[in-house]
Amino acid sequence: MAFYLSLHSSHRALAAAFFLSSAVAVPVAVLPTDADAEAAPPSAEDFGRLPALSSLTLSPDGKHIAAVSSQDGKTSYITVWETSDMSKPIGIGSDPRVRFMGVNFVKDERLSVTVRQIFDYGSLKTFLFKNEFTDLTGSKWFKGTPERKAQSEAEEINRATSSAQVVSTLPNDPENVLVAGDQGAIYKSNLKTGKITLYERLGERDGSLFYDFNGVLRAKSLIKFENGNSFAVQMVKDPDTNEWKEIFRAYFKEREIPSIVGLTKDPNIIMVRARRGQDHTAIYHYDIRSNTFKDVVFAHPSFDVGGVLLDHRTGEIIAFSYMADRPSLYYVDEKLDATMKGIEQALGLKTEVITWKDLATSKESKLRLPDGASLSLVDYSSDFKTLIVRKSGPSTPDEYYLYIDGKGLQGIGSSRPWLDTSLLGEGHLEQFTARDGRPIPALVYKPKVEKYGKGPYPTLIIPHGGPWARDYLDWSVITPWAQYFVARGYAVAMPQYRGSDGWGWAQWTAGDNKWGEEMSDDMDDVALGMVKQGVADRNRLAMHGYSFGGYSAMAAIVRPNPIYQCAISGAGPSSPKSMQRETQDSRFTREFQRPFVDGLDAKANVANASIPILIYHGDRDTNVLPGESKVFYEALISAKKKAEYVLFKDMGHEANKWGPEHEIKLLNMVDNYLKTDCKAGGL
């Protein structure tokens, strides 16, 4: 079966198709075994190929599992198993021109599938992501919204580049979901019969739709402009009149935007995540009638909180999420809490206690965190009697397990069963002290002492992108950038420099207008702190950053007295002015982000460059245009500085716009550069 981008024949660049077929046999991946011989470091191919399993999902009735899988590491399939007998998987394959990116059960026997393909239109080179629905064999496909003839070329292009979005799975309805179309239309889509009906029509500026489990829209937000200011207005249904009511507004320039995270059984009370003058976000009860915040429902003393998991059958709270060294859940449901703790014990998972300095006050406390791998809840049946859980950590690629109440735990498979982890180093959350006394969190990976001794080691500093973002210690798309080199005797640190989001208000705002200045000082101070520990070799330091991290690598080579022997920059803007221009066009980013973007102009200071740099960029990057890297490279060459530039074909900015060939090429390229061009004799 196929679904197509159906456009006028004159738009030949848009006339690509997504092809999907059924009945492709895909074997169940097996968990890794210990190698008998002395291990060699895993190759770039081992780290870069597509995972054997990802995007696992469980049907609401607990009878089926689906996942994105790959046999050869290059092409992907959807695999479906029965939980009662996983020996006979069913596969759903795709045309080589597309790649499955995600799958999710929306009904007992219906899947939502996300696919990606390359998209060219004129000078625009990017990717398309499309969501459609199918059954357990891929024999029937549903778009979820009605087909309508476009009235203009612009509308036709918009249709091609947009996709149906589920706004409510209607968990109490066995056949229908609610899907957002264009022009504010919300459709009820029957995934069994294919019937589509208009459910309601909202304003085109309405967003952040919050439906209850029965499909009643209870909250929404919209953006307004007044007296030169932009702000978000939070609207909810009045419990007495059922009319829309404004409960609060958030001005973008203040950067504090409360958000509804859950409903309660009382129609007058909702749960809202907000900071309310505190360093960390918390979840509060909010009284709609009185327009007031009430008691704190959940808060963590050291980390920002995320959201809430509710039982759609009863409305009871199951768990709260928060952002520690990795995304974590605090279980309120006692039975589920006991089950997860029992699985942790069965898998031999451990914890450690660390001393932690509060990033706002520097007050010390003790934190208990995972020591190595940890357990997370991936998906669950409606009655919470069947679970998919994941074991994952800094040196443990994702391992998936099925738990059935009364039957126990069984392995599903590993994301990377071919990867020999014996030379991967453990990672830990540490804190260092900045030159102005601020504590700086960092994720630190160290090589195996048995193989490489106690150090000091050549060390790679990897600042994250954003900069309003952060890193986590579970296995992620960025982990290979650390572990590939740790397995070869490097130490690696990912500094959570000032300006990083997710660590509290003080850490987030401390980076305002400090690009290439105090933000870069923090990166350097983590490296120098590792030198002081005896972990890093002072004469063998390098930086590899991507996006904002790529800018930081550019800044590192022009800052005075650089501590690094070389830098590698991926997809970075060469100046804060570039980000200022990018954020100027949107009213939201112009007020929310642009006032806080300033600092060192790396491009204007190329004459000060004193260490070599390798620069790379994807030719399909629409976030940071490839010209940003190219113009910095050309300025360096004009100034007779040592630089290399590599353009990656068919690579976008975000990780979901990369292919395995890009990851493999990057790891090999950086490895070779560090060995040959970073300094005389290699790093």
Mean pLDDT of 503-522: 96
- Tell me which of 74-83, 95-104, 412-421 is least confident: 95-104
Rg (CA), the chain: 25
How many angstroms from the chain centroid is the CA of residue 548? 15
Residue 1 reports pLDDT greater than 70: no
pLDDT tens digit string along 332-348? Answer: 999 999 999 999 999 99
Kind of pairing, strands 85-94 and 98-107?
Answer: unpaired
CB-based contacts of 425: which residues, under 8 Å, 6+ apart?
394, 395, 445, 446, 447, 448, 483, 486, 487, 491
What pLDDT is recorded for position 11?
Answer: 27
Q: Nearest CA to 547 among 616, 605, 472?
A: 616
Tens of pLDDT, residues 239-249: 999 999 999 99
Give the C-alpha separation, 544 to 353, whole Å. 30
**The pLDDT of residue 148:** 73
Q: Look at residue 588 in the predicted model and tell me its pLDDT.
A: 79
pLDDT exceeds cutoff 60 at 502: yes
Q: Which of 115-119, 160-164, 483-487, 499-503 has the lowest mean pLDDT?
A: 160-164
Please give the pLDDT value at position 13: 26
Average pLDDT over residues 579-605: 84
Q: Which long-range contacts (CB under 8 A, 24 or more apart) does 474-479 make?
A: 474/326, 474/327, 474/374, 474/376, 474/392, 474/393, 474/394, 475/392, 475/393, 475/394, 475/396, 475/397, 475/398, 475/415, 477/655, 479/394
pLDDT average, residue stretch 179-208: 92
Q: What pLDDT, on the 0 to 100 scale, is given for residue 637? A: 98
pTM score, whole prediction: 0.92
Instruction: Give residue 33's pLDDT.
Output: 47
pLDDT at 154 over 80: no
For the sheet with 317-323, list strands across it.
305-310, 317-323, 327-331
Average pLDDT of the residues in 203-222: 92
Q: What is the DSSP letter of 266?
A: S
pLDDT band, residue 211 (cuts 50/70/90): very high
pLDDT band (50, 70, 90) for residue 153: confident
pLDDT of residue 20: 35
Tokens describing residue 241: 């009149």
Pairwise CA distance, residues 171 & 459, whole Å? 50
Comparison of pLDDT for 157 and 491, the residue scoring more: 491
- Judge contact between 565 and 542, C-beta under 8 A: yes
427-676 has CATH 1.10.3720.10 classification: no
Confidence band of 27 (pLDDT split at 50, 70, 90)? very low
Mean pLDDT of the chain: 91
What pLDDT is attached to residue 164?
80
Return the minimum-mean-pLDDT range out of 4-18, 146-160, 634-648. 4-18
Q: Spell out the domain ranges in the chain.
A: 427-676
pLDDT at 70 > cutoff 70: yes
**Element at 20 (helix H, strand E):** strand 17-22
pLDDT digit string, tens, across residues 96-105: 889 999 999 9
Residue 292 pLDDT class (50, 70, 90 cuts): very high
The model's confidence at residue 585, banded by pLDDT at 50, 70 and 90, is confident
**SS3 of residue 664 by DSSP:** helix
Q: Does the pLDDT of residue 586 top 90, yes or no? A: no
Q: For residue 25, is pLDDT > 80?
A: no
Average pLDDT over residues 15-43: 48
Q: Is 12's pLDDT higher than 70?
A: no
pLDDT of 622-669, one tens digit each? Answer: 999 999 999 999 999 999 999 999 999 999 999 999 999 999 999 999
Mean pLDDT of 444-450: 97
Q: Is the pLDDT of residue 42 over 50?
A: yes
Q: What gap in Å lies between CA 4 and CA 8, rounded to an integer? A: 12
Does the pLDDT at position 578 exceed 70? yes
Q: Would you say residue 577 has pLDDT above 60?
A: yes
pLDDT band at 8 (very low <50, low <70, confident <90, very high): very low
Q: Is 456 exposed, middle or buried (0-12, 13-18, 19+ CB in 10 A)?
A: middle
**What confidence tier does 680 reach under pLDDT thresholds 50, 70, 90?**
confident
CA distances from 473 to 354, 468, 479, 530, 604 (A): 15, 18, 8, 18, 36
State residue 26's pLDDT score: 37
Confidence of residue 9 (pLDDT cuts 50, 70, 90): very low
Average pLDDT value for residue range 440-466: 97
Confidence band, pLDDT 50/70/90 cuts, at residue 384: very high
Give the C-alpha distances (Å, rounded to integers) separating 669 from 184, 471, 644. Answer: 47, 23, 11
**pLDDT for position 94:** 80
Q: What is the mean pLDDT of residues 599-618?
A: 97
- Both tokens of 322, joined, read 């928060």
For residue 103, the model assigns a pLDDT of 97
**Res 14: pLDDT:** 24
Confidence class for position 123, pLDDT limits 50, 70, 90: confident
Which of 119-128, 178-187, 385-394 has the largest mean confidence? 385-394
Residue 146's CB: how many other CB atoms inside 10 A?
A: 12
Given a cut of 70, whether residue 10 has pLDDT beyond it is no
pLDDT at 385: 97
Write out pLDDT tens, residues 344-369: 999 999 999 999 999 999 999 999 99
